[in-house]
Structure 1
Amino acid sequence: MAITVVGSVAFDTVETPAGRVDRCLAGAATYFSLAASYFTDVRVIAVVGEDFTAKEEAVFAARGIDTRGVERAPGKSFFWQGSYLENLNEAKTLQTDLNVFASFEPKIPAAYQDSEFLFLANIDPVLQKRVRDAMPGVKLVGGDTMNYWINDHRDNLLKMLACVDILLINDTETKLLAGSRNPVKAARDVLSLGPKSLVVKHGEYGATAFFGPNSFHGNGLDSHHPFRAPALPLAEVVDPTGAGDSFAGGFFGYIASQPELTPAVFKRAMFYGGVMGSFTVERFGTERLRQLTREEIEERFAIFRELTHLD
């Protein structure tokens, strides 16, 4: 079953205690699609500039990712430069150039309309909702957002949240969106805004899923009991950039690969999300995601399961 993802395809310059990389292929849609491609078919809607060459296209092609929805526009691609030298858990933004992304108007190829899954990566909520409305046939919608949209575009964001089945954001964003410092109360308040389920990402500490009373038409997910998935303790983190988007790709990709969404599938998807995020941080940019095998993924999934095995 195919996932369509709309988001950014970009270039990043990143500096961490492990070193520095200049203009590596990045962007939320890039990390998401690479991670999800190990589980199911992926289609991308994005915009790139003239600096996006056959070399970058080959990264998507090698994973069988459909890029017919990636528009080529005059100018340069979205660019971000950040540093993790002060704090590996939070990037310090040094430069952001929207470039062609500033006038991005998502165009949905006709061939994408039979997609059963849609993921709205972190972009303007107006664009997110526009894509959602233009794809009424999808059966499950995931979404992401960030502090900027929460603070400065709340009204538009609330309209987007009303049409999302699963929202994936971090703990800081959850508290900001809800206006509450208590993580449990904040999660419940976010669920009241529309999403059927909420996955709160905690970075190096894993992720927690919260379920609304109508989660997926009463399939057994309990609104009173959150589910926590661990993160893998790593001796060295090279580059945290894209870990959250890779988590989303692994999570949503696994769900799309299964015949139906059950409580067990949702919980396993949380583990697969953690697996893909853990691989991403081992190298700069998308390097590790490009080199994986499904066998490596399953071996690490087994480690994640062992982390929570009691008996």
Structure 2
Amino acid sequence: MSVLVVGSVALDSVETPLGSVNGVLGGSAVYFATAASLYTKVNLVAVAGTDFPIEHIQFLSGRGVDTEGLEVIEGKTFRWAGRYDFERNITETLETELNVFADFHPTLPPGYRDSDLVFLANIDPELQCEVLEQVSGASLKVVDTMNFWIRGKGEPLSRAISAVDIAIMDESEARMLAQSENTFVAARSILNMGPKTVIIKRGQYGAVMLSGDDHFIAPAYPV
């Protein structure tokens, strides 16, 4: 099985009740590729600036992630700053610097277009739509998103969600997108946009998956 992830590699600054970190390795494509590499080979497409530490690329390569599709260009890497509120189970975006990501248009290397599974990680929905046009033969297409894009790119996000099999987001994002205060009502509304399945991330409380008339609730795994 060939797996393609198109998303962000980033330098993150994160605040939690347990402590804070600045400029650490982050990005939706990084987290997905790291986890998926436990089971299969992953092809990664993303962009980084010249300030992106080489050891981060070596970390990915060391896990068997194919980084041929990782472009390193002049400029600063995408940066995100956020705060996690465990009490209210929400994530607050404090700052987003697109930097080199602002002009990024994914180019899939030869062989990537035939991937069986395509995960469109948390990036500009317009870029997600660009990739979907290049991987029409994939057997499973998944899209992830966040509040930043819901607020600023609603129309292309709707197009991306309608063209995939699975849509993923957290509780607050689902409620924002569907304009509903009830998580399950919001998830059903998103299902009506076109995907076969919706997965709602609930932080320390696990996740909820809805598909058709069925739903499945999974607890978080303690680590």
The TM-score, its normalising length taken from structure 1, stands at 0.67
Q: Which runs of 5+ in 2 are unaligned?
A: none
For the aligned residues, what is the CA RMSD? 1.9
Q: Counterpart of 2:63?
A: 63
Q: Distance in 1 between matches of 2:83 and 2:190?
A: 30
The answer as to 2:169 corresponding to 1:169 is yes
More strand per residue: 2
Q: Does 1:15 align with 2:15?
A: yes
* 1:23-69: CA deviation from partner (whole Å, max 9, x where unpaired): 11111110111011101111111000111232111110110001111
Given that residues 89 and 202 in structure 2 are in contact (C-alpha distance below 8 angstroms), is that contact kept between their aligned partners in structure 1? no
If asked which structure has higher relative contact order (CA below 8 Å, sep 6+), I would say 1
1:195 aligned counterpart, secondary structure: coil
Structure 1 residue 84, shift from structure 2 partner: 4.1
Q: CA deviation at 1:88?
A: 7.9
1:164, 1:146 → 2: CA distance? Answer: 16
On the 8 A contact 1:16/1:88 being kept in 2, the answer is: no
Instruction: Confirm or deny that 1:46 pairs with 2:46.
Output: yes
After superposition, the Cα gap between the structure-2 partners of 1:25 and 1:114, relative to the gap in structure 1 and judged at 3 Å, is: same
Aligned counterparts, 1:115-264, within 5 A = 115-212=115-212, 223=213, 225-232=214-221, 234=222
Task: Return the letter of the residue paired with 1:108.
Answer: L
Distance 1:95 1:181 in 2: 25
Q: Which has the higher helix share?
A: 1
1:303 maps to which residue? none
Letter in 2 for 1:203: G
Q: TM-score, normalised by structure 2?
A: 0.92
Give the secondary structure class of the aligned counterpart of 1:81.
strand
Relative distance call for 1:146 and 1:93 in structure 2 (3 A) is closer
- Measure how far apart 1:87 and its partner are: 5.7
Q: Does 1:95 align with 2:95?
A: yes
How many equivalent residue pairs?
223
Unmatched 5+ stretches in structure 1: 213-222, 235-277, 279-311
Please say which structure displays the higher CA radius of gyration: 1
Sort the Cα spacing of 1:88 and 1:36 in 2 relative to 1 into closer, same or farther, 3 A: farther
Q: 1:179 to 1:128 in 2, by over 3 A?
A: same
